[in-house]
Amino acid sequence: MSGFDRLSVKPGLPPMEARLVESLPTDPGWQYEPKWDGFRCLIFKAEDEIALQSKSGKPLARYFPEIVAAVGVLKADTIVLDGELIIPIRDHLSFDALQMRLHPAESRIRRLSRETPAQLMLFDCLVGEAGESLLDRPLRDRRRALEQLFAREAAPGFRLSPYTDDPDLARQWLDQAGGALDGVVAKQREGAYETGERAMLKVKQMRTADCVVGGFRYAAKSREVGSLLLGLYNDAGKLDHVGFTSSIPAEARPALTKRLEALSEPPGFTGNAPGGPSRWSTDRSGDWQPLRPELVAEVRYDHVTGNRFRHGTKFLRWRPDKAPEQCRMDQLEHEARPAQLATSLEGAS
């Protein structure tokens, strides 16, 4: 019989999720927390058995042995917690470093766990001291249980996510913390832990960057532009491909296609170019048209990973007033380390 069979909350539990909204709720009864850019992780401990579970239900323990070890030394025999795996590197959080852990070679995982150790940012407690389920208890009770556990254990590798009940302060976090903060999550203080439901609300911290259009791709079923390929100049003066935008209004595509075709000229990108290994790679990843680096577009983005936009960006406007060579990598904002974020949040209070 597995020790997990004795848990009141067992592995396989779908975590409560958040729904994206435009603005934070301001009516009474909400609690606000920073939104962390990492891997969502449920932690299960039943005596000597430990499981780390991703948002999709997949096991994570083999990829983060340092977290398993940290959970193992906790005094509590029974633990079920909710949090976010993060890896601070230098002055920001590195999503790339998290992704590098998802590797089949145990030797590489062990090496990375020493070189770039992960931390666990905790924000919910699903099982109480006596092993009872807290899923139906209000968030205020679960938070109190989490704070008591955190104060009692004080284990390295764990952090307690801050929160506020003040909507004005939460809005200040979004307005004044800048790129240090990925966003804010709102949770109902009297709400239960609704497994698998989007019962929380999230507002993402959106940022903008002025990028050089170094190339474009035609749409799949027409000879009109489908997406613009975006670049920024690196420290060596080379234009690196950093992402794309496809949010081009349909009525603007015919004229824009002609404009782009008139600028068609290799090489387009003089540094990292499209077509190599990329999270955006498809069968058409090599099918792009290079452009002279003359057009500058302002785009809105959410996450940066390895000096690239992790997702597609939203086109905002053309910037004819901006010289292409002014579009440099230093525009990109990474989410800050927790200690730096705390300073930013205190400065916004």
> For 56-78, how does the pLDDT look when each residue is reduced to its tens digit (9 = 90+)?
999 999 999 999 999 999 988 89
Lowest mean pLDDT among 112-116, 154-158, 172-176, 273-277: 273-277
Q: Is the pLDDT of residue 284 over 60?
A: no
Look at residue 207 in the predicted model and tell me its pLDDT: 84
Alpha helices in the chain (DSSP H): 65-72, 95-101, 106-115, 139-153, 167-176, 253-262, 338-348
Mean pLDDT, the chain, rounded, equals: 90
Span 241-283, pLDDT tens digits: 999 999 998 999 999 999 999 999 999 999 999 974 434 344 4
Give the whole-angstrom CA distance, residue 93 versus residue 38: 8
Residues in the chain: 349
The separation between CA 98 and the C-alpha centre of its own chain, rounded to angstroms, equals: 11
Q: What is the mean pLDDT of residues 78-99?
A: 91
Q: How confident is the model at residue 283, as a pLDDT?
A: 44
> What is the set of active-site residues?
35
Q: What is the pLDDT of residues 28-53, one digit of tens each?
A: 999 999 998 899 999 999 988 999 99
Give the residue-averaged pLDDT of 151-172: 90
Please check whether residue 216 is in contact with residue 258, taking contact to mean a CB–CB distance below 8 angstroms.
no
Strand pairing report for 17-20 and 198-204: parallel
Question: What pLDDT shows up at residue 276?
Answer: 47
In this structure, which CATH number among 3.30.470.30, 3.30.300.30, 3.40.50.261, 3.30.1330.50 belongs to the domain 3-205?
3.30.470.30
Domain boundaries, the chain: 3-205, 207-331
Instruction: Report the pLDDT value the prediction gives residue 282, as an integer from 0 to 100.
Output: 44
Query: What architecture is domain 207-331?
Result: Beta Barrel (2.40)
**pTM of the predicted model, to two decimals?**
0.78
Closest C-alpha among 297, 296, 274, 272 to residue 285: 274
Q: Does the structure show a pLDDT above 70 at 335?
A: yes
For residue 5, the model assigns a pLDDT of 85
- The DSSP 8-state label assigned to residue 148 in this structure reads H
Can you read off the two tokens belonging to residue 347? 């400065």
pLDDT for the residue numbered 116 = 95
**Whether residue 217 has pLDDT greater than 90:** yes
Give the 3-state secondary structure of 226-277: EEEEEEEECCCCCEEEEEEECCCCHHHHHHHHHHHHHCECCCCCCCCCCCCC
Report phi then psi at 135, rounded to 5. Answer: -55, -35
Euclidean distance between CA atoms 239 and 273, whole angstroms: 8
By mean pLDDT, which of 132-146, 268-282, 324-338 is the weakest? 268-282
Give pLDDT, residue 212: 98
Give the whole-angstrom CA distance, residue 24 versus residue 200.
11
d(Cα 198, Cα 212) in Å, to the nearest integer?
37
**Pairing of the two strands 158-160 and 119-125:** parallel
Please name the residue that has the structure tokens 């779908």. Answer: 14
